[in-house]
């Protein structure tokens, strides 16, 4: 086996190990968040690069990477795999600018919220809080917690924003593991 092949295999094994650890940790964070906020569902969406169009402009996708739901609610994450972000571009721009966005189906929707509401409506959403996840240089995904029409609950924004921001910070630091590993290397040298 060539050195390059050995390195690729090693990187793949390391990446898989990190992803498995990440998935378990995120599930725990989402479960704690749903309980703390009274949300019926919590979903982590991650952004990923795709192929490019004919002139070379890259596509960007979002994927529901992790989800927890209240007992009796079916998981919906399988419906939200590799969605082209151009469908909700205005919403994502507003989310990145504001950090958080709240949608309540009882209130009139802003135009940029309409497409995201349509996507989430299949989950029987009543209210939802979206929180952007920032990477080192740009948004790398978002977290959404929601209540459903079945439960009749509404998110308490004050408590939900605080709890969601805490969860986002935990997830962001896990996603930016390269930065964390670099800090650990520097600390070991000190």
SS (H, E, C) the chain: CCHHHHHHHHHHHHHHHHHHHHHHHHHHHHHHHHHHHCCCEEEEEEEEEEEECCCCCEEEEEEEEEEEECCCCCCCHHHCCCEEHHHHHHHHHHHHHHCEEEEECCCCCCHHHHHHHHHHHCCCEEEEEEEEEECCCCEEEEEEEEEECCCCCCCCHHHHHHHHHHHHHHHHHHHCHHHHHHHHHHHHHC
Provide the CATH number for the domain around residue 171. 3.30.450.40
Residue 27, domain extent: 3-189
* pLDDT of amino acid 61: 85
Percent share of the chain, pLDDT over 70: 77
Give residue 189's pLDDT band: very low, low, confident or very high (50, 70, 90).
low
- The count of structural domains within the chain is 1
Put simply, whether the predicted model's pTM sits higher than 0.85 gets the answer: no
* pLDDT of amino acid 10: 67
> What is the mean pLDDT of the segment spanning 105-113?
69
Give residue 182's pLDDT band: very low, low, confident or very high (50, 70, 90).
low
């Amino acid at each position: 086996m060539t050195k390059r092949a050995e390195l690729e295999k090693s990187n793949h094994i390391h990446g898989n190990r990190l992803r498995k650890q990440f998935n378990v940790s995120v599930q725990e964070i989402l479960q704690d968040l749903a309980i703390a906020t009274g949300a019926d569902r919590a979903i982590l969406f991650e952004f990923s690069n795709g192929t490019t169009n004919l002139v070379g402009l890259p596509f960007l996708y979002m994927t529901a990477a992790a989800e927890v739901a209240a007992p009796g609610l079916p998981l919906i994450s399988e419906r939200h795999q590799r969605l082209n972000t151009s469908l909700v571009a205005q919403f994502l721009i507003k989310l990145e600018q504001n950090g958080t966005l709240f949608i309540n189906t009882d209130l009139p929707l802003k135009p940029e919220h309409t497409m995201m509401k349509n996507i989430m409506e299949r989950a029987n959403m009543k209210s939802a809080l979206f929180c952007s996840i920032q990477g080192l240089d740009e948004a790398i995904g978002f977290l959404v917690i929601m209540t459903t029409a079945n439960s009749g609950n509404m998110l308490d924004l004050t408590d939900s924003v605080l709890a969601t921001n805490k969860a986002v910070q935990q997830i962001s630091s896990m996603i930016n593991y390269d930065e964390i590993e670099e800090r650990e290397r520097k600390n070991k040298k000190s």
